Amino acid sequence: MDLYGKDFIVSQEWTKSQLDELLELAARMKRDRYSSRWTSILEHRTFFMFFYNPSVRTRQSFECAATELGGHAQFLEPKAMRLKTATTAGETIEDAAKVMARYACGLGIRILEDKVPHYGAGNELLREYAQWADIPILNMADDRFHPCQGMADVMGWAEWYGEGPGRPSYENLKGKNFLLTWASGALARSWCSVQEALLVASRFGMNVTISRPEGYDLDPEVYAWTHANCEANGRDFCVVDDPETGYDGAHVVYSRNWVTAGAYQDGEFQKKAEVEKAMAYPGWTTTAGRMARTDNAIFTHPMPIDRGSEVTDEVASGPRSAVYDVAENRLHVQKAVMALTMGNL
Ligand code: CP
């Protein structure tokens, strides 16, 4: 399968076979991390990373990934360029994208909800770069999706239900129960990671339950895709509105705070108002007591974790926590994405 030159903006736009190929390579790269099979794949090539928002995992795992493939990852941020915006004169995306494509083998972009005037505008920006640049555009988290996180998530879950690190069983995830629960907190968090998790869990044959207070539904298109994925796999998709019952029989529990659909007003992200709204729902926290209702579930989170609000320390650092495995997998899946889309394989 030839993935060379392909953008990775949301997992739903890749076929299941393409995702399987990516994950299979990621597992081989994890088992044999520094093999000479991988260390020249990006030799002499540069991957640009364009960050509108901060990061721990994404920046560092992409930099390590490029190094381990024999290439280099270069950090860029908007203030280091002179780009045209809605309020300032400057260079168009068309010109910037076409020039960057003359230098680099690929371009990753992170742009989250607080840097855009309305929901979806970050994803639109990535697609505009993809329109003009004839190199792969990799989504490093926009306001809708976080596909590298989604791949790292499912690889981690499949390792826990498989034979351990680097030995995932995606077959064993089929028919397992995935709970995505909204969580309390004052961070007014993005939809990107949780939406990607819904797409991936449903795509890989899990039953999906979303638990959230009234008013905290996610993107209707993502619900429709998740529903369609579940239906195609003969699985269930349901939404509940209490912080307890979704845990019953769950195998994978994912808790995370996120904002409402009313997070923008007058072209601005209303963080303070979103934090105030969330304060009306204390106690949506993953605790050991709630985990006891599950079928010995693993706990997963894309990090950074809001400990004490989204999940207790006891669960986040407990024996069934997959959080560091998933974080590690960012490196392996991104090496695989870069190798397949821009590498010399
Ligand atoms: N999960 C994730 O994308 O982490 P960072 O925001 O630290 O990159």
Q: Report the CATH number that the domain containing residue 26 is assigned in CATH.
A: 3.40.50.1370
User: Mean pLDDT across the chain, nearest whole number?
Assistant: 97
User: Looking at the structure, do residues 28 and 124 belong to the same domain, yes or no?
Assistant: yes
Residue of 256, 260, 259, 238 whose CA lies nearest to 178: 238
**Contacts of 126 by beta carbon, 8 Å cutoff, 6+ apart:** 9, 109, 111, 137, 139, 142
Report CA(258)–ligand 1 centroid distance (Å): 15
Residue 71 lies in a domain: yes
User: CA triplet 148, 58, 187: central angle to 5 degrees?
Assistant: 100
User: Looking at the structure, do residues 171 and 255 belong to the same domain, yes or no?
Assistant: yes
Residue 5 lies in a domain: no
pLDDT of residue 201: 99
Q: Residue 322 in contact with residue 303, Cβ under 8 Å?
A: no
CA distance 140 to 155: 17
Pocket test for ligand 1, best of 49, 53, 56 (most atoms within 8 A of CB): 56
User: Looking at the structure, do residues 116 and 156 belong to the same domain, yes or no?
Assistant: no
φ, ψ (nearest 5 deg) of residue 344: -105, 65
| pLDDT at residue 344 is higher than 80 | no
- Cβ–ligand 1 distance for 256 under 6 Å, the answer no
User: Looking at the structure, do residues 133 and 153 belong to the same domain, yes or no?
Assistant: no
**Contacts of 18 by beta carbon, 8 Å cutoff, 6+ apart:** 1, 3, 6
Report CA(298)–ligand 1 centroid distance (Å): 20
| pLDDT at residue 325 is higher than 80 | yes
Report CA(315)–ligand 1 centroid distance (Å): 20
User: Looking at the structure, do residues 333 and 243 belong to the same domain, yes or no?
Assistant: no
User: Looking at the structure, do residues 90 and 217 belong to the same domain, yes or no?
Assistant: no
Query: Which pLDDT tens digit goes with each residue over 254-288?
Result: 999 999 999 999 999 999 999 999 999 999 999 99
- Cβ–ligand 1 distance for 302 under 6 Å, the answer yes
pLDDT of residue 345: 78
- Cβ–ligand 1 distance for 190 under 6 Å, the answer no
Number of domains in the chain: 2
pLDDT of residue 290: 98
CA 76 to chain centre: 20
User: Looking at the structure, do residues 211 and 308 belong to the same domain, yes or no?
Assistant: yes
Q: Which residues form the domain of 288?
A: 149-327
- Cβ–ligand 1 distance for 172 under 6 Å, the answer no
Report CA(43)–ligand 1 centroid distance (Å): 26
Query: Which pLDDT tens digit goes with each residue over 215-259?
Result: 999 999 999 999 999 999 999 999 999 999 999 999 999 999 999
Q: Which pLDDT band holds residue 309 (cuts at 50, 70, 90)?
A: very high
Number of neighbouring beta carbons within 10 Å of residue 281: 18
